[in-house]
Structure 1
Amino acid sequence: MATESATTTTEVSTETGNWKAGVAAGLVGSAAFGLVMTFVIPAPLLEVVIPSMYGLAPPAAPGLGWIVHLSHGAVIGVGFAALVGARPTLAATVENAVGLGAAYGLLVWAVLAVIVMPIWLSAVGSPANPPLPNVSVLSAVGHLLYGVVLGVVYAAIPN
């Protein structure tokens, strides 16, 4: 006598946002911010500060600085996608996504640029170590730009 058993498959979504859109939006946002760092902010951020976080400078290494900066932007963009995935209503409209992106950019500035970066650079013995806290209006504006572009691009990518 044969016994048969039926199984039911239930699909459960484990997604927490459109991470691919987060990567793309983060790259575009960090490219916009990188242009501000290159042409507006007077410090050698992309050439020395950012690559020295990983022991890649000095000497100045602008190409490596761009790669590290874009990589950071992509990873932070995935964090934005996770936030949107956890609370989709926060970015239900383009306006909401832009506002959330702006707030997210300022939060990233307050935590990562103001507090974490100086501690990190000090820990790795970087000669480009800023003070703690590292409060800069230009840096805040650059991170705000990152967040706004992040929100715009994220909202423009179909889910």
Structure 2
Amino acid sequence: MSAESDTQTTVGVESSIGWPVGGAVGGAVGALVFGALIWLFDPEVVSAAIPGIYGLDPTGVVGWGIHLAHGIVLGLIFGFLVTREPILGTLQMNPETESLSRTGITLRVVAAGFVFGLAVWALLPLLVLPVWLEAIGTEAAADFPTTAVESLIGHLLFGTVLGIAFALVTNLQPGAAETPLEG
């Protein structure tokens, strides 16, 4: 038998912790940094508008809790996506340009986080939120700053911090690892 038939190729992300924890931690840290930025510009967004999206009264730390939960869920989605073969293979490929070939997997995951933050901003507050608010008929979150520059910057910051934390928590391998097949 050849060595190829005795081994299987994994996606190259190995960690004793795993991508779900990396995604959850990265999402939580990213959400906290994003929330702090928004809090500096307009504390009412976190304390009143975010609970208002769900028809809740702005009491206590409800807005922060929801914002943190959003970050964790988005971090898990990022972790899942970035560890799938099509995306991870793209992140691991050896580009022909000299400047890109000098970047490591960590920097590429941080860049993927930045792009993910941009995608989240384009999809959730710009497309999904207006439809959601119309469907539930709430006026409490009508002043939510969906297209504000602070929202864009915050989502980009969220994605970047998510990528950094994910790369630090999850042991990313520079290439696909080969492990013996069991059985």
* 2:67 alignment partner, one of 66, 69, 73: 69
TM-score between both structures, scaled by the size of structure 2: 0.70
Mark the runs of 5 or more structure 1 residues left unpaired by the alignment.
1-12
Q: CA RMSD in A?
A: 2.4
Match of 1:49 in 2: 49
What TM-score results when the alignment is normalised by the length of structure 1? 0.80
Find runs of 4+ consecutive structure 1 residues off by over 6 angstroms.
none
Q: Secondary structure at the match of 2:54?
A: coil
> Tell me, what secondary structure is at the counterpart of 1:109?
helix
| Of 142, 148, 160, the match for 1:136 | 148
AA partner of residue 82 (structure 1): F
Question: What percent identity do the matched residue pairs reach?
Answer: 36
Match of 1:38 in 2: 39
1:117 Cα shift?
1.2
Deviation at 1:32, TM superposition (A): 0.2
Give runs of aligned pairs for residues 1-159 of structure 1, distance below 5 A.
18-40=19-41, 42=42, 44-57=44-57, 60-61=58-59, 63-86=61-84, 87-92=87-92, 93-127=105-139, 128-130=141-143, 134-159=146-171
Q: Tell me the matched-pair count.
A: 142
Alignment CA distance shift 1:155-1:120 (3 Å) = same
- Matched AA of 1:71: A
Query: Relative to structure 2, which stretch is displaced further, 140-149 or 43-52?
Result: 43-52
1:130, CA displacement in angstroms? 4.6
Contact 1:90–1:96, Cα closer than 8 Å, also in 2? no
CA–CA separation in structure 2 for the residues paired with 1:71 and 1:56 = 15
* Greater relative CO (CA pairs within 8 A, separation 6+): 2
